[in-house]
Structure 1
Amino acid sequence: MDLSPCVEWIFASEHPALPDRIRAARYAGYKTVEFHLWRDKDVDSIAEALNETGVRLTGIVVEPRRSIVDPAQHGEFLQAVRESLETAKKLGSPPLVVASGFTREGVSHEEHVAAAVSALRQAAELAEQAGVMLVLEPLNDRVEHPGMFLVSTKLGLDIVEAVGSPNLRLLYDAYHSAVMDEDMGEVLDGRMHLVAHVQVADMPGRNEPGTGTIDWAEKIATLRRLGYQGAIGLEYKPTLPAAESLAKTRAALGQ
Structure 2
Amino acid sequence: MSDTFDRRSALKGILAGTVTLGISSGFTSVLNSLEEESKLASNILKGRINHSVARWCFNDFDIETLCLEAKKIGITGIDLVGPKDWPVLKKHNLISTMCNGAELNLVDGFNDTKFHEQLIKNYTEMIPLVAKAGYKNLICFSGNRREKTDEEGWNNCVLGFQKLIPIAEKHNVVLVMELLNSKINHKDYQCDKTNWGVELVKRINSENFKLLYDIYHMQIDEGDVIRTINENYKYIAHYHTGGVPGRNEIDETQELNYSAIMKAIADTGFSGYVGQEFIPKQKDKIASLKKAIAICDI
TM-score by length of 1: 0.87
Cα deviation for residue 183 of structure 1 reads: 1.1
- Structure 2 stretches of 5 or more lacking a match? 1-48
Aligned residues: 245
Q: Secondary structure at the match of 2:238?
A: strand
* Rounded Cα–Cα distance in structure 2 between residues aligned with 1:88 and 1:100: 21
* Rounded Cα–Cα distance in structure 1 between residues aligned with 2:243 and 2:210: 23
**Alignment partner, residue 209 of structure 1:** 250
- 1:49 matched to 2:91? The reply is no
**Alignment partner, residue 144 of structure 2:** 102
Which residue type is aligned with residue 295 of structure 2?
A
Q: Secondary structure at the match of 2:245?
A: coil
Task: State which structure, 1 or 2, has the greater radius of gyration over its C-alpha atoms.
Answer: 2
**Alignment partner, residue 84 of structure 1:** 126
Q: Secondary structure at the match of 1:233?
A: strand
**Offset from partner CA, 1:67-110 (integer Å, 9 cap, x none):** 211112111111121233244246432411111001122x3321
**Alignment partner, residue 144 of structure 1:** 185
Residue 220 of structure 1 contacts residue 253 of structure 1 at CA under 8 Å; is this kept in 2? Answer: yes
Q: Secondary structure at the match of 1:205?
A: coil
Q: Secondary structure at the match of 1:170?
A: strand
Q: Secondary structure at the match of 2:80?
A: coil
Which residue type is aligned with residue 7 of structure 1?
R
- 1:223 matched to 2:265? The reply is yes
**Alignment partner, residue 156 of structure 1:** 197
Residue 63 of structure 1 contacts residue 84 of structure 1 at CA under 8 Å; is this kept in 2? Answer: no
Residue 190 of structure 1 contacts residue 226 of structure 1 at CA under 8 Å; is this kept in 2? Answer: no
Which residue type is aligned with residue 157 of structure 2?
A
Which residue type is aligned with residue 212 of structure 1?
Q
* 2:290 aligned residue (234, 247, 250): 247
Structure with the bigger percentage of helix: 2
* Rounded Cα–Cα distance in structure 2 between residues aligned with 1:167 and 1:239: 36
Give the RMSD, CA atoms, in angstroms.
2.0
- 1:126 matched to 2:135? The reply is no
Residue 241 of structure 2 contacts residue 274 of structure 2 at CA under 8 Å; is this kept in 1? Answer: yes
TM-score by length of 2: 0.75
**Alignment partner, residue 64 of structure 1:** 104
Residue 151 of structure 1 contacts residue 180 of structure 1 at CA under 8 Å; is this kept in 2? Answer: yes
- 1:32 matched to 2:74? The reply is no
Which residue type is aligned with residue 57 of structure 2?
W
* Rounded Cα–Cα distance in structure 1 between residues aligned with 2:141 and 2:205: 18
Residue 201 of structure 2 contacts residue 210 of structure 2 at CA under 8 Å; is this kept in 1? Answer: yes
Which residue type is aligned with residue 209 of structure 1?
I
Which residue type is aligned with residue 51 of structure 2?
L
Which residue type is aligned with residue 122 of structure 2?
A
Residue 98 of structure 1 contacts residue 136 of structure 1 at CA under 8 Å; is this kept in 2? Answer: yes
* Rounded Cα–Cα distance in structure 2 between residues aligned with 1:5 and 1:181: 24
Q: Percent identity?
A: 23
Farther-moved stretch of structure 1 (220-229 vs 1-10): 220-229
Farther-moved stretch of structure 1 (18-27 vs 157-166): 18-27
* Rounded Cα–Cα distance in structure 2 between residues aligned with 1:101 and 1:25: 31
Residue 33 of structure 1 contacts residue 58 of structure 1 at CA under 8 Å; is this kept in 2? Answer: yes
* Rounded Cα–Cα distance in structure 2 between residues aligned with 1:117 and 1:207: 34
**Alignment partner, residue 54 of structure 2:** 6
Farther-moved stretch of structure 1 (186-195 vs 50-59): 186-195
Which residue type is aligned with residue 235 of structure 1?
E
Residue 229 of structure 2 contacts residue 264 of structure 2 at CA under 8 Å; is this kept in 1? Answer: no
* Rounded Cα–Cα distance in structure 2 between residues aligned with 1:154 and 1:75: 27
**Alignment partner, residue 279 of structure 2:** 237
Residue 99 of structure 1 contacts residue 136 of structure 1 at CA under 8 Å; is this kept in 2? Answer: yes
* Rounded Cα–Cα distance in structure 1 between residues aligned with 2:216 and 2:154: 23
